[in-house]
């Protein structure tokens, strides 16, 4: 079953990911030119900041409840809790190992009273309707086997006027040119390595959000801005210390590491896209 595979994937790989690459399990944001060589961790923080700015949620006075859907080990959740001192942040993940690590990290930061981490399925969230002021979902949508149900659940648990900030792996737009067999095989290899059921295009996400009744929908394609991330990860993956860690972490992570090039090649051929969407629940 997909959820079980995702759980095993993250249970077994999150420790080594944190050790080698840090607490953020998402792309970095790079400016073009020289900016493509900036520190990888800084680039990951910059992606969070760029998302907040672009979605117009950068106001430090932001108060309310944030839900981080697919929270990993709480990289974004704790960053947001620190940035917005009047917020309360809940993170959900399929991986008990991640949820426990996120809780431990919250304690290290003294944020345990304002953060909560739990194992829960985004397609059937254990929350009442109309609860959250902000939903943050950074690179978990690609794991969802039912993209409409996922966005419908986000809409349900958002408060009226609440905001969704969503960034996810997509494939290129297909309206004028359907995916060919070679592209489909390339995507299938990415799905197999990263436990993804399938990805869709950004305009398909936009159509789903519109049909569900989200308001003020905006999208942007940041593929060029995030693509350098994979080259920086590949460089660091091949240092001796990291290779030893990867071997200790077991097969799923090894497979993912040797397959990092699938993503960088996916971006360079225009097949893989990094889609960003923000939208609001009506009042």
Toward ligand SAM, which CB reaches closer, 54 or 173? 54
Query: Rounded to whole angstroms, what are the CA distances from 190 to 3, 34, 106, 268?
Result: 17, 29, 32, 15
Residue 58's Cα: distance from chain center in Å?
A: 19
- Residues 23 and 216: their CA atoms lie apart, in Å, by 32
C-alpha Rg value of the chain to the nearest Å? 18
Toward ligand SAM, which CB reaches closer, 24 or 186? 24
- Residues 231 and 60: their CA atoms lie apart, in Å, by 33
Q: Is 72 in the site for ligand SAM (CB under 6 A)?
A: yes
Task: Mark the segment that binds ligand SAM (CB under 6 A) among 93-101, 152-160, 197-205, 208-216.
Answer: 93-101
- Residues 10 and 34: their CA atoms lie apart, in Å, by 33
Task: Mark the segment that binds ligand SAM (CB under 6 A) among 106-114, 121-129, 217-225, 233-241.
Answer: 121-129
H or E segment and range at residue 137? strand 132-138
Indicate which single residue of 43, 52, 80, 122 sits in contact with ligand SAM (rule: CB under 6 A). Answer: 122
Nearest Cα to 53, choosing from 231, 224, 220, 238? 220
Task: Mark the segment that binds ligand SAM (CB under 6 A) among 51-59, 94-102, 126-134, 178-186.
Answer: 94-102
Three-state SS at 41: helix
Q: Is 25 in the site for ligand SAM (CB under 6 A)?
A: yes
Indicate which single residue of 20, 89, 94, 106 sits in contact with ligand SAM (rule: CB under 6 A). Answer: 94
Q: Is 115 in the site for ligand SAM (CB under 6 A)?
A: no
Q: How many residues belong to the site for ligand SAM (CB under 6 A)?
A: 23
Taking the complex as a whole, the smallest distance from the CB of residue 21 to ligand SAM amounts, in Å, to 10
Q: Is 76 in the site for ligand SAM (CB under 6 A)?
A: yes
Q: Is 271 in the site for ligand SAM (CB under 6 A)?
A: no
Nearest Cα to 73, choosing from 29, 44, 106? 106
Three-state SS at 74: coil
Q: Is 166 in the site for ligand SAM (CB under 6 A)?
A: no
> Which residues contribute to the site for ligand SAM (CB under 6 A)?
6, 10, 24-26, 70-72, 75-76, 92-95, 98, 121-123, 138-140, 143-144
């Amino acid at each position: 079953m997909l959820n079980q595979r995702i759980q095993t994937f993250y249970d077994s790989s999150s420790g080594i990911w944190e050790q080698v690459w840090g607490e953020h399990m998402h792309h970095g944001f790079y400016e073009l030119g020289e900016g493509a060589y900036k520190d990888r961790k800084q680039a990951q923080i910059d992606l969070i900041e760029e998302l907040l700015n672009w979605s117009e949620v950068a106001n430090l006075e932001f108060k309310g409840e944030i839900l981080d859907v697919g929270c990993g080990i709480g990289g974004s959740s704790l960053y947001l809790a620190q940035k917005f001192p009047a917020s309360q942040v809940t993170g959900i993940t399929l991986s008990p190992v991640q949820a426990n690590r996120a809780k431990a990290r919250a304690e290290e930061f003294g944020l345990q009273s304002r953060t909560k981490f739990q194992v829960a399925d985004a397609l059937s969230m254990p929350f009442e309707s109309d609860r959250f002021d902000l939903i943050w979902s950074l690179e978990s949508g690609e794991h969802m086997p039912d993209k409409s149900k996922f966005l419908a659940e986000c809409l349900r648990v958002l408060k009226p006027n609440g905001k969704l900030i969503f960034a996810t792996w997509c494939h290129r737009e297909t309206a004028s040119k359907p995916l060919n067999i070679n592209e489909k095989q390339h995507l299938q290899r990415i799905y197999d390595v990263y436990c993804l059921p399938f990805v869709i295009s950004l305009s398909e996400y936009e159509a789903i959000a519109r049909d569900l009744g989200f308001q003020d929908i905006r999208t942007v394609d940041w593929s060029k801005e995030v693509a350098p991330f994979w080259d920086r990860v590949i460089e660091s993956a091949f240092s001796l210390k990291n290779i030893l860690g990867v071997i200790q972490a077991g097969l799923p992570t090894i497979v993912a590491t040797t397959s990092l090039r699938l993503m960088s090649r996916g971006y360079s051929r225009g097949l893989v896209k990094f889609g960003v969407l923000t939208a609001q629940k009506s009042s």
